[in-house]
Amino acid sequence: MIELEKALTGDSAFAPPSHILEGLSDGVAYQRLSGAPHTIYEELWHIAFWQRLSLDWAAGVATAVPLHAAEGFPTAKQGEAEPWPDLCRRFLREAGIAGELTRDPAVLKQQIQCPSPPGVPVRTMSVHDQLESLAAHNAYHLGRIVLLRQMIGSWPPKSGGFTW
């Protein structure tokens, strides 16, 4: 497993995503904390949203970028349509797909089009560069989930996680 795959799915510079999400009940996932802009559910939905776009782009599907940042977070209706356990499974499954892409050097070298918001030129980059961007984005938001878990008192999970 190369480092990029570990950053997407495994034990890299932070606890594996599966550990970060482990053992969270609906009550914790949907808990709104004072001063926090999003719940754990909303953070994970956001990660999964952008991960899906990245996978689309890697597959040559020019999926549009939202016009506003708020569109990258779930509406109440979207949240109701996908219960917490289903969201976790979808995120981990698609993280695994992203990780699998890192194993093929030919795929990593492919140049892809990554749509941008209106008025901003479409970006061209390698699949490798897009997956690096995805790994960084996921790490940022997974870190926010860890912080929310710490604030709620549900960290570390049974499988372990950094506590410093």
95-121 residue pLDDT tens: 999 999 999 999 999 999 998 888 889
Q: Which domains does the chain have, with CATH numbers?
A: 3-152 (1.20.120.450)
Give the separation between CA 58 and CA 39, rounded to whole angstroms. 29
60-107 residue pLDDT tens: 998 888 888 899 999 999 999 999 999 999 999 999 999 999 999 999
| Phi, psi angles (nearest 5°) of residue 113 | -95, 130
pLDDT at 164: 62
pLDDT at 69: 86
Sorted by sequence, the CB contacts under 8 Å of residue 160 that are 6+ apart come out as 15, 19
Distances (CA, A) of 19 to 23, 36, 39, 111, 159: 8, 22, 18, 33, 6
pLDDT at 159: 86
Average pLDDT taken over every residue of the chain = 93
Residue 160 has pLDDT above 80, yes or no: no
Contact between 91 and 51 under an 8 Å Cβ cutoff? The reply is yes
The residue among 95, 78, 89 whose CA lies nearest residue 24 is: 89
Kindly state the percentage of the chain with pLDDT values over 70. Answer: 98
pLDDT at 76: 92
Contacts of the segment 69-75: beta carbons below 8 A, 24+ positions apart: 72/46, 73/38, 73/42, 73/45, 73/46, 73/49, 74/41, 74/42, 74/45, 74/46
pLDDT at 161: 73
Average pLDDT of the segment spanning 112-132: 92
35-51 residue pLDDT tens: 999 999 999 999 999 99
pLDDT at 1: 66
pLDDT at 63: 87
Average pLDDT of the segment spanning 13-33: 93
Q: Scanning the structure block, which residue is given the tokens 């890192």? A: 102
